[in-house]
Amino acid sequence: MNLPKKPMNLAMVAGARPNFMKIAPLIAAFNGDSCFDINLIHTGQHYDQNMSESFFRDLRIPEPRHRLQVGSGSHAQQTAEIMKRIEPVFIQDEVEAVVVVGDVNSTVAAALVAAKLDIRVIHAEAGLRSFDRTMPEEINRLVTDSISDLLLVTEESGRTNLLREGRDPKQIVLVGNLMVDSLRHNLNEAMDSDILTRLQVCGCFGLVTLHRPANVDNDGKLTEILSALSEIAEDLPLYWPLHPRTRTKINGIGLPSAIHLLDPLGYRDFLHMQAKASVILTDSGGIQEESTVLGTPCLTLRDNTERPVTVEAGTNRLAGTSKVSILNAWQESKESPKAGAIPELWDGQAGVRCHAAIRGFLLPS
């Protein structure tokens, strides 16, 4: 009698808030595929209730098989700690392939360990480039892509960048955007949220997020951004869920009462606010994508973006980080609003296409 073949141990690694929205539809797409044993590993890069656990609940992500509980630290400390803790897991579980998503420290750390153990690496959201190597995320993207065996891209710029870097076209698959899958699958429930009632929001409002070290750790840039936000708040009340690092940096700084500082929000509450906002001011990559799908005007508080399709086709504008550039972008958005269009394959089926690409790569017929 032929015994059934053991399922392939496929590790999926997530550690920070943006990862969870990308990993959820990927896990769902593999549900019921008996050829794979999905091994979810949560590094704990984001670890508090609002930055992590509420996302597992809202997105219906199954309990991770491993929680590494890495916590915070400098980029070097955090990356090194993830590598130290994830290596014995890969070895003990006899992991045969690893899927990493996005561009956080968990992504590059897991990819490096897997590559050194001769485990195949699959990068979802590959090929995005800001061409700004002062961004830690850009270094993570470059390193991860250079050692990945299968590169799953969200937009055509990803394919173009990877080909320019000499990658084999056969390793690159345009699959669409996993983050958009989560948005589309959760939007109806998100629209039932009572978050605006709880916050006593009346009428139009703007939504703010800010977390990148280049903005919040640079006193000059932070002062310029806060000054611009204060002026915008004279026209439009702003609601700002604070990343923990940002709260520390602005603690003690006097802001107008029309800028409402909030604790981090759960996924559906935040999605509801994005959909209802008159404008979003952010330095987040994922929010540029979500706002484009929702049709909400977005002002990105950066001089560059690794997601150019959100500017070329979507509702996003690069606003820079000076008070003058931000206020100019704000004025332009009011005078000449962008209609925006949904990029190719941002249709809620990226998880299905990722599953097909990964299955074809790991289990060729």
**End-to-end CA gap in the chain:** 23
Q: Are 110 and 68 in contact (CB under 8 A)?
A: no
Q: Which residues are CB-contacts of 132 (< 8 A; sequence separation ≥ 6)?
A: 138, 303, 304
Q: Are 225 and 321 in contact (CB under 8 A)?
A: yes
Question: What span, in angstroms and rounded, lies between the C-alpha atoms of 311 and 103?
Answer: 20
Residue identified by tokens 């076209």 is 169
Residue identified by tokens 């990722």 is 354
**What are 35's strand-pairing partners?**
none
Q: Are 130 and 138 in contact (CB under 8 A)?
A: yes
User: How far is the CA of 49 from the CAs of 17, 41, 52, 148, 320, in angstroms?
Assistant: 11, 17, 5, 32, 32
Question: What span, in angstroms and rounded, lies between the C-alpha atoms of 9 and 97?
Answer: 7
The three-class DSSP label of residue 46 is: coil
For every residue of 315-329, DSSP letters joined together read SEEE--SSHHHHHHH
Question: What span, in angstroms and rounded, lies between the C-alpha atoms of 285 and 177?
Answer: 12
355 labelled catalytic: no
Task: Catalytic residue, from 66, 75, 211, 355: name it.
Answer: 211
Question: What span, in angstroms and rounded, lies between the C-alpha atoms of 29 and 214?
Answer: 36
DSSP classification of residue 167: -
Q: Are 36 and 7 in contact (CB under 8 A)?
A: yes
Question: What span, in angstroms and rounded, lies between the C-alpha atoms of 235 and 240?
Answer: 16
* R_g (Cα) of the chain, nearest Å: 20
Residue identified by tokens 């706002």 is 291
Q: Which amino acid is at 272?
A: H
Active site residues: 211
